[in-house]
A = this chain, B = another copy of it.
Amino acid sequence: MASSLPSPSLLLSTARRKPSSIAASTAVPQTKDTMRIPPEFDFKGYMLTKAATVNRALDLAVPLADPRRIHEAMRYSLLAGGKRVRPILCVASCELVGGSEAFAIPPALAVEMIHTMSLIHDDLPCMDDDDLRRGKPTCHRVFGEAIAVLAGDALLSLAFHILSNPNSYPSSPSPPSSLIVRSISELAFCVGSEGLVAGQVVDIESTGVSESVPIDRLEYIHLHKTAVLLEASVVLGAIIGGGSDSQVEKLRRYARCIGLLFQVVDDILDVTKSSQELGKTAGKDLVSDKTTYPKLIGLEKSREFAEELNHEAKQQLEEFDSEKAAPLVHLANYIAYRQK
């Protein structure tokens, strides 16, 4: 799977067109792409409804059982707010290929749990040593390092338990076991030593070194730290929704574009916004000598690159029914034009 990721240079080569204007107040200039949004689609309402469904399901998935402290820590980080972009992508992708929301909830919860687990572990003192996450003190600052490590481990295994537990799905009809196995395989691969973990390892190795980090290494980090899980979110939804192989691959390409887009915008926001606005320690990437897009290719070129990725993502949706594809079109814009 990692071997079939588009090469970084291929992705970069799409950043060739010049935007007509640069809006300094947003991370990415809003060009003609934004005109594609069907005006009748209530994106804000869609996001609020889906996020509420996801939040209710997350709340139920991690009851305050014994031992109490570990469940408190899991709930603290999992229910800390977040934008729920990954689970909503999962649900939107499942519904796009004709699956029901109920089928998409287990994989949607699983990807959010994996995401939260990676944040908890990445924030640890031995890694990025972050004090603030989603506007609140990080898990290890509240519960201590040992519980933070274990909360991450527990969320990681809970993700696979939810995916594999027959009680997670509607009983009739329920998704075929073969699709569940395929989705578990996708998710497991994306977390491991060729996915999220690989991205974090290369990120750590690239931090604080004296020579500058080349662009292909930066893209490797982002593809693995961010894009693989966004990809898994979209792909798991498409698999569990019963999408055809060609639909799954189209959506995989869409997800890879918005995956890189997500990180580029994150880097831009880190330079242009304050800590208070972001809910995390802003400018930290620059202070701690982390390689970012603005540092490497400048702020303007970073914005251009983001716009191209957004354009390419939407191209993948052209063969789908435009009304049904509206949520994913809007989600790409949301990622491109978000303010935090």
Contacts and interface: CB of A to CB of B under 8 A. Distances in A.
A197 B150 contact: yes
Contact of A189 (B145, B156, B161): B161
B165 A185 contact: yes
Which of A152, A154, A164, A180 is packed against the most chain B CB atoms within 10 Å?
A: A164
A71 B193 contact: yes
A69 interface: yes
Interface stretch (A37-45, A49-57, A119-127, A268-276): A119-127
Interface residues of A, number: 54
A117 B178 CA distance: 28
Contact of A160 (B124, B188, B204): B188
A69 B201 contact: yes
Contact of A164 (B71, B154, B158, B184): B184
Contacts of A74: 193
Contacts of A121: 149-150, 153
Nearest to A191: B157
A126 B154 contact: no
Interface string A282-323: 000000000000000000000000000000000000000000
A215 interface: no
Contacts of A185: 161, 164-166
Q: Which 9 A-B pairs have the closest CB atoms?
A: A161-B188, A126-B145, A177-B177, A157-B191, A154-B193, A164-B185, A160-B188, A164-B184, A157-B192
Nearest to A71: B193
B149 A193 contact: no
Interface in A65-95: 65-67, 69-71, 74
